Amino acid sequence: MAIKRAVITIAAISAVTVVTAAPAFADDPAGQTSVTDEEFKQLAPGESLSQDALDRELALLNQPAPAPQPIAVSDLPLNAEDKQALESGKSVAGYAPEKVKADGSVSIAAADVWCGNWLADPGSGVSWASGPSAIAGTTYTSSYTTVPEYEIYWRSNHGQAAANSVWYGWSKMYPTSDAFWTDGPAKRITTGWWDTSGSAHFCGWGSSQYRSFGFWADGSYSAGIRRTEADYIRPHGWVDSDLGWEYGSRVMW
């Protein structure tokens, strides 16, 4: 497969209206970038919410989540190898059938679209008392390109909401290069998570199993799940149809 890359040419810039805010970067795999995710509001040390802000943010945090939606195995956001194994009734990654529920491999065959007691939009109207920061071990770099400056990667982040002190986690995709819009088709991001009973779910956006976006600074993250409701988390990303869904190992959270 030919190397692909995301670039912005001078001609392209002159042909469109570019958003003024820089895209949100944070700690890319090569260590080239270390900038706070600007769309997530972090309270300064000692800062507290006013009563009006507290009431407003609690209303956002307490929004009821959509009911679980089933997903056919053929539609799961999985790579071709794992999907074929599940469709054949086999375990994934060679685990014996009696162990796959604990491992989470085959339990994903029954996964649904659900975010638990969710946070609909982690980047809109929510103040963070701690974080957001990366969940260790969740960063995944796409096979999209071997050119470091054009890499695309994603990870799961988490933070503690100031209004209710609850920790939420979500997944976010990042470009390594200083790009405003995505190269090629709209990208997709979702959060795979396993609840405390071992059941698997995907938290995308609203009632959808994933979120699609065309601009890095506008919607490259999923909705949020509660840490108290999840044992494991794993970000899933989709860059194009050639690669399909990509992801690493699930991580205890």
Report the DSSP pairing between strands 245-246 and 225-226: unpaired
Express each pLDDT in 93-118 by its tens digit.
443 333 334 444 557 888 999 999 99
pLDDT tens digits for range 176-216: 877 776 777 899 999 999 999 989 999 999 999 999 998 88
Write out the DSSP string of the chain: ---------HHHHHHSPPPSSPP-----TTS------TTSEEPPTT----HHHHHHHHHHHTPPPPPPEE--GGGSS--HHHHHHHHTTPPSTT--GGGHHHHTTGGGGG-EE--SS-BS-TTSS-EEEEEEEEPTT--EE-TT-S-GGG-EEEEEEEEEETTT--EEEEEEEEESS--SB-SSSPEEEEEEEEETTS-EEEE-BTTBSSEEESBTTBS-B--BEEGGGEEEEEEEEE--TTT-EE----EE-
Q: Are strands 245-246 and 41-42 parallel, antiparallel or unpaired?
A: unpaired
pLDDT, tens only, 37-90: 777 899 998 899 999 999 999 999 999 999 999 999 889 999 988 888 787 766
Pick from 8-22, 216-230, 238-252: least confident: 8-22
Dihedral sign of CA atoms 169, 137, 246, 4 in order: positive
Average pLDDT over residues 19-45: 55
What pLDDT is attached to residue 92? 55
What is the spatial distance between Cα 117 and Cα 12, in angstroms, rounded to a whole number?
A: 42
Q: Please state the rounded mean pLDDT for residues 145-158.
A: 88
Q: Cα–Cα distance between 184 and 127 in angstroms, integer? A: 33
> Average of pLDDT values for 231-241?
95
Residue 85 pLDDT = 79
Residue 105, pLDDT score: 52
Q: What percent of the chain has pLDDT over 70?
A: 77
124 to 52, 102, 106, 214, 224: CA distances (angstroms): 16, 35, 35, 18, 12
Q: Is the pTM of this model over 0.85?
A: no
Written as one letter, the residue type at 27 is D
- Top-confidence residue, 143 or 146: 143
pLDDT of residue 151: 86
CA dihedral 92, 142, 128, 137 (to 10 degrees): 50
pLDDT at 36: 60
